[in-house]
């Protein structure tokens, strides 16, 4: 299958940072796509479908993250993740 | 730290005004505590309870206000090492205002459920509702984390992931206690509805809260039981993984030991027949290699 890659920079805007529930929202979103998605934070790169690895990033408010996807639906996966950051992960509160 | 929030026209908005009808005190300092206790006549012990994570949820009816202490999940940070903790929050409902006391900063009034709030009593119930939603969200995270840890344990020989699972198990016990405590609080709110001034719509919301909280409790209970019952099996898996490693190392040791024995026998400083034979060096090498083959054959025959 034709492989594509995409990347996007996003900023963590939530005051509490990228903690438990946002991490789950990211992992759940990534699992909907076939592409392999990773997130780079500072020098660490983690698998975006693994909550455990995402939580280990400890990305606080204002941290810049790079979303990297490769696979047949890479662009869609990155777009969906970026929307998640824009929509505050669809969480009602912290 | 004081945050002023205004409830007007059914909407909750942040406000810089001094006398807004919702005041949020985050980890109040000595002056703020003095103001709360002396001017607003809050009970010092109840105020301390709002900041104490170990306090039980409860409602206290005072002459001038209603004090409600409820449990909330503490925001998880990476330093918590998979222990999801609980914190308390205090709501002090007066006739014309609501004082919220929190131990840590938390954006309380975000989300759809705060888009249309009828009264301060309604706001109290919605804050408790948001706490239940927060618990449910964290329970989903705990479930996802435990699944991820299980995958790691299946290939692991370290205790690290087991210890993480123990932390999750401990968190669920905290959560069960807190959710059950919130359940008792909701019951008490229902019984004290006339004194608090809940409307019929508020009572319907309380019924919803009771159901949601009990569902949340059941969910936490199921996760806790699953984690506890599978823990022994996971300990065995790690132990078994370690056994496999020891077995592999033993094979390597035995496979090296036999050719070493053969070569060392012929290395003894004594005369033996055929020592000077031109092919003796290759014969010893062949015997050493054959001993490795012998180990392999026995291994295969015994199906180790």
pLDDT digits (tens, 9 = 90+) for B1-55: 777 777 777 777 777 667 788 888 998 898 988 888 888 888 888 999 889 888 8
Condensed to tens digits (0 to 9), the pLDDT of residues B51-90 reads 988 888 999 988 889 999 999 998 887 677 788 999 999 9
Which among B110, B144, B149 is the nearest to A92, CB-wise?
B110
- Average per-residue pLDDT for chain B: 87
Rounded to the nearest angstrom, the gap between the alpha carbon of residue B44 and the centroid of all alpha carbons in its chain is 31
Q: What are the structural domains of chain B?
A: 2-241 (3.30.460.20), 242-302 (no CATH)
Q: What are the structural domains of chain A?
A: 4-90 (3.30.1340.10)
- In chain A, which residue's Cα lies nearest the Cα of B79? A58
Summarize the confidence of residues A2-30 as an average pLDDT: 85
- Terminal Cα-to-Cα distance of chain B (whole angstroms): 68
Provide CB contacts within 8 A for B67, sequence distance 6+.
Answer: B42, B43, B46, B59, B60, B61, B90, B91, B92, B93
Q: Is B148 on the interface with A (CB under 8 A)?
A: yes
Summarize the confidence of residues B128-141 as an average pLDDT: 91
Pairing of strands A36-41, A4-11: unpaired
Q: Which pLDDT does position B210 carry in this prediction?
A: 95
Q: Chain B interface, mutation test: which of A15, A16, A22, A52, most B Cβ atoms within 10 Å?
A: A52
Chain A hits for B105, CB-CB cut-off 8 Å, are: 15
Asked whether the beta carbons of residue A24 and residue B134 sit closer than 8 angstroms, the reply is: no
Condensed to tens digits (0 to 9), the pLDDT of residues A29-88 reads 999 999 999 999 888 899 999 888 888 888 888 889 999 999 898 999 999 999 988 887
> Are B102 and B28 within 8 A, CB to CB?
no
What is the rounded distance in angstroms from the CA atom of residue A10 to the CA atom of residue B245? 43
Rounded to the nearest angstrom, the gap between the alpha carbon of residue B126 and the centroid of all alpha carbons in its chain is 24
Condensed to tens digits (0 to 9), the pLDDT of residues B233-287 reads 888 888 888 888 898 898 889 889 999 999 999 888 888 888 888 888 999 999 9
Produce one character per residue of B20-50: b if its CB has 16 or more CB atoms within 10 Å, e if not.
Answer: bbbbbbbebeeebbeebeeeeebeeebbebb
Q: Which pLDDT does position B179 carry in this prediction?
A: 95
Asked whether the beta carbons of residue A55 and residue B78 sit closer than 8 angstroms, the reply is: yes
Judged against a pLDDT cut of 70, whether residue A1 lies above it is answered with: no
> Are B187 and B165 within 8 A, CB to CB?
no
């Amino acid at each position: 299958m034709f492989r594509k890659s995409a990347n996007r920079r996003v900023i963590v805007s939530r005051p509490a940072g990228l903690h438990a529930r946002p991490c789950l929202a990211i992992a759940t979103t990534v699992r909907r796509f076939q592409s392999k998605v990773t997130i780079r934070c500072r020098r660490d790169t983690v698998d975006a479908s693994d909550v455990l690895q995402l939580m280990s990033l400890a990305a606080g408010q204002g941290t810049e993250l790079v979303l990297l996807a490769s696979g047949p639906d890479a662009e869609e996966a990155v777009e969906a993740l970026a929307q998640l950051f824009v929509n505050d992960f669809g969480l009602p509160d912290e | 730290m004081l945050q002023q929030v205004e409830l007007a026209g059914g909407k909750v908005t942040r406000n810089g005004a001094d006398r807004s009808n919702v005041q949020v005190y985050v980890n109040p300092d000595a002056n703020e505590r003095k103001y709360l206790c002396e001017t607003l006549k809050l009970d010092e012990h109840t105020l301390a309870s709002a900041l104490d994570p170990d306090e039980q949820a409860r409602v206290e009816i005072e002459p001038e206000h209603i004090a409600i202490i409820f449990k909330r999940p503490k925001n998880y940070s990476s330093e918590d090492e998979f222990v999801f903790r609980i914190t308390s929050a205090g709501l002090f409902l007066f006739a014309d205002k609501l004082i919220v006391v929190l131990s840590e900063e938390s954006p309380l009034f975000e989300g759809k459920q705060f888009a249309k709030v009828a009264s301060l009593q309604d706001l109290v119930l919605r804050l408790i509702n948001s706490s239940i939603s927060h618990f449910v969200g964290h329970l989903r995270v705990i479930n996802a984390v435990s699944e991820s840890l299980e995958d790691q344990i299946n290939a692991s020989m370290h205790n690290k992931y087991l210890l993480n699972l123990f932390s999750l198990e401990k968190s669920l016990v905290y959560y069960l206690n807190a959710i059950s405590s919130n359940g008792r609080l909701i019951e008490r709110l229902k019984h004290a509805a006339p004194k608090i001034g809940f409307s019929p719509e508020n009572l319907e919301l309380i019924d919803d809260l009771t159901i949601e909280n009990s569902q949340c409790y059941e969910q936490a209970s199921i996760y806790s039981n699953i984690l506890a019952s599978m823990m022994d099996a996971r300990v065995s898996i790690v132990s078994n993984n370690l056994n496999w490693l020891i077995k592999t190392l033993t094979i390597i040791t035995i496979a090296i030991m036999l050719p070493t024995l053969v070569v060392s026998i012929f290395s003894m400083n004594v005369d033996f027949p055929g020592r000077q034979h031109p092919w003796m060096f290759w014969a010893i090498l062949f015997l050493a290699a054959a001993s490795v083959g012998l180990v392999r054959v026995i291994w295969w025959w015994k199906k180790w």
